[in-house]
Structures are given as C-alpha cells and as structure tokens.
Amino acid sequence: MPTKTFTLATLVVVAFLTAATTLPSLIAQETADESKPSVRLPAYYGDVITADQRKKIYAIQRGYAPKIEQLEAEIKKLEEAMEAEMEGVLTQPQIDRIKELIEEEKIRREKNEAAKRAAEKAAADSGS
C-alpha cells in the first residue's frame, strides 16, 4: 500500500512539474470572444514586446493549453483517487471528525469574512 501511495504521489508531482515547466508563467482564463486573447502574457512581457511577438506568444500559449488542460484533469483524477485511498485507511469515527473539522473551519471563515466586510463598510462609512 505505501508503494501505491508513493507511486501515485510521484505521478502527481511529475504531471504537475511537466505542466509547470512547459507553459509560460501566467495562462489565464479563456474568453468566448476570439478577438480577445484567451491567454495572458507573463509578467512584464507587455512592456517589452512588439505586437507581432505578442501574437506569437499567444499562439504558443494556445498550443499548449489543450495539453495543460488534459494534464490538469488527469491530476484532478489522481488527487481524487489518492483522497479516496487515504480515506480508506481511516475509521468511520475519524472520517466523521474530519468532516466536523472541515465544517467548523468553513463556519470560522464565513464569520471572518463577514467581520472583514463589516469593518470595511464601517471604515468606508466613517470616511465619507
């Protein structure tokens, strides 16, 4: 069993590193409008490249996008399989406790976000 987990973790890391090393720094969301680029330039490129270079870089990014999407989907499946396998090691009370902890964290985050929004609103109201 440890060998399976190690192999699975290794595959995830290799797939991630492959994706990370083959793409330029920042690929953004695709847009429905083809007149707009479906990718973004890496940081600082926009300040130094020509319009022709911009087009070439966008084409390169679009060329890699399908393979990256495929690898990301594969990584997601591997992570789900790993999670299921790890959960298989736990007892039902442990699984239940983990679910409780996750729910408690979700509630804590929601409270923090609400407090943050209230503080921002109060600061905006006092500034006007």
* 26 pLDDT more than 60: no
Q: Please check whether residues 5 and 43 belong to one and the same domain.
A: yes
Q: List the end-to-end C-alpha distance of the chain, in Å, as a whole number.
A: 62
Q: Please check whether residues 112 and 78 belong to one and the same domain.
A: no
pLDDT for res 56 = 96
Range of the domain at 98: 90-128
What's the domain count of the chain?
2
**Residue 56's closest CA among 67, 41, 36?**
41
User: Tokens 């503080």 map to which residue?
Assistant: 119
Q: 86-117 pLDDT, tens per residue? A: 999 999 999 999 999 999 999 999 999 999 99
* 33 pLDDT more than 80: no
CA 103 from chain centre, in angstroms, equals: 22
CB 75 within 8 A of CB 15: yes
* 37 pLDDT more than 50: no
Q: Please check whether residues 65 and 126 belong to one and the same domain.
A: no
* 85 pLDDT more than 70: yes
Distance CA 11, CA 13 (A): 5
CB 75 within 8 A of CB 16: yes
The model's confidence at residue 127, banded by pLDDT at 50, 70 and 90, is confident
Distance CA 15, CA 35 (A): 32
CA 127 from chain centre, in angstroms, equals: 36
Q: 44-82 pLDDT, tens per residue? A: 999 999 999 999 999 999 999 999 999 999 999 999 999
| Cα angle value 14/12/92 (rounded, 5°) | 160
Q: Please check whether residues 94 and 119 belong to one and the same domain.
A: yes
